[in-house]
């Protein structure tokens, strides 16, 4: 029997007693609503093949390949393989793979013209210690902003790129390094919940429109201080068979990057776009 349990006062919900392979639309509906209500959703104890994982992921929206081509599954390009090939031919640890996602708090896909609606991971191998993923609530970050700062940011756009201010990325192929920056509102209204969040990624933002570089840098530094709010965090300790999905429109995350390098921490990952309001507006 399905059980849905809140994990924190402002973020996180856990689902047990369900096999996602057997879900009909009526069974999926409360899962989807719980995810919208709590930003991060964990489904425990699943046994999936790639086709199962993709089929379940597509219930949330279209699954699209990640820009990092080198980590795509060779037969299923929509799947990113996290945690594999982290040692080079000489046995040296490749930090870009080992610490992927651990550079700092971020949201996935802000560098795209149509940013990712969601990211979903399925745990294939879990280390004996460490390797957690941390999450935070973007709604709470917005709520914590002073009224004057909310007013200052209303309608203001940020300029985002894959490499942010630093430029390129070791995860991108050579031909993809020259990334065309995109614009997104810093205060984003969620297309399904109607709630406002601070849409922010310190590693991907280049500038804030309307401000010169010095003012923009100062504002970016100030906004970073509001991202993580007490009671609005969740730290996920992975178990094999976990599926975790997070809403990139209203949350941040980062990997702990602290597990024993000689042990495996392997996930299938998908990036999910939107069937909803934003997709319809783009089509129109």
Segment 15-40, tens digit of pLDDT: 999 999 999 999 999 999 999 999 99
Give the pLDDT mean for 254-276: 91
User: Which pTM does this prediction carry?
Assistant: 0.91
- What is the per-residue pLDDT for 284? 36
* pLDDT band per the 50, 70, 90 thresholds, residue 278: very low
- What is the per-residue pLDDT for 72? 87
- What is the per-residue pLDDT for 102? 86
What DSSP element (H or E) covers 220?
helix 213-224
- What is the per-residue pLDDT for 113? 87
- What is the per-residue pLDDT for 47? 98
Residue 283 pLDDT greater than 60, yes or no = no
Residue 281 pLDDT greater than 50, yes or no = no
- What is the per-residue pLDDT for 66? 78
Average pLDDT taken over every residue of the chain: 90
How far lies 151's CA from each of 45, 148, 156, 202, 270, in Å?
45, 5, 10, 21, 35
Give the fold, CATH level 3, of 3-275: Double-stranded beta-helix (3.60.130)
Residue 254 pLDDT greater than 50, yes or no = yes
Give the pLDDT mean for 147-172: 77
Name the more confident of 229 and 1. 229
- What is the per-residue pLDDT for 282? 41
- What is the per-residue pLDDT for 170? 52
- What is the per-residue pLDDT for 178? 61
In a 3-state reduction of DSSP, which class is residue 240? coil
Q: Which region among 18-22, 56-60, 70-74, 147-151 has the lowest average model confidence (pLDDT)?
A: 70-74
Contact 41, 31 (CB under 8 A): yes
Contact 48, 75 (CB under 8 A): no
For residues 22, 19, 119, 185, the Cα torsion angle rounded to the nearest 10 degrees is: 70
* pLDDT band per the 50, 70, 90 thresholds, residue 201: very high
- What is the per-residue pLDDT for 57? 97
How far lies 42's CA from each of 74, 190, 249, in Å?
27, 21, 17
- What is the per-residue pLDDT for 117? 96
């Amino acid at each position: 029997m399905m059980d849905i349990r809140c994990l924190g006062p402002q973020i996180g919900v856990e689902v047990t007693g369900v096999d996602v392979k057997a879900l009909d639309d009526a069974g999926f509906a409360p899962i989807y609503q719980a995810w919208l209500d709590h930003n991060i959703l964990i489904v425990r104890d699943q046994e999936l093949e790639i086709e199962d994982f993709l089929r379940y992921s597509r219930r949330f929206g279209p699954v699209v390949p990640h820009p990092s081509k080198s980590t795509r599954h060779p037969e299923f390009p929509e799947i990113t393989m996290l945690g594999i090939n982290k040692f080079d031919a000489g046995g040296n640890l490749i930090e870009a793979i080992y610490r992927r996602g651990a550079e700092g708090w971020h949201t996935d896909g802000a560098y795209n013209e149509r940013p990712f609606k969601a990211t979903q991971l399925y745990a294939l191998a879990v280390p004996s210690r460490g390797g957690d993923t941390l999450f935070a609530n973007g709604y709470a970050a917005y709520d914590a902003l002073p009224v004057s700062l909310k007013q200052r940011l209303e309608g203001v756009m940020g300029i985002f790129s894959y490499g942010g201010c630093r430029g390129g990325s070791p995860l991108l192929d050579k031909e993809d390094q020259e990334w065309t920056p995109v614009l997104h509102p810093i205060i984003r209204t969620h297309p399904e919940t109607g709630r406002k969040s601070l849409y922010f990624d310190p590693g991907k933002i280049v500038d804030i429109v309307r401000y010169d570089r010095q003012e923009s840098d100062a504002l970016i530094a100030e906004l970073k201080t509001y991202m993580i709010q007490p009671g609005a965090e969740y730290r996920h300790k992975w178990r094999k068979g976990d599926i975790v999905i997070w809403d990139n429109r209203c949350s941040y995350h980062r990997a702990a990057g602290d597990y024993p390098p000689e042990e495996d921490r392997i996930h299938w990952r998908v990036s999910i776009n939107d069937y909803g309001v934003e997709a319809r507006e783009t089509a129109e």
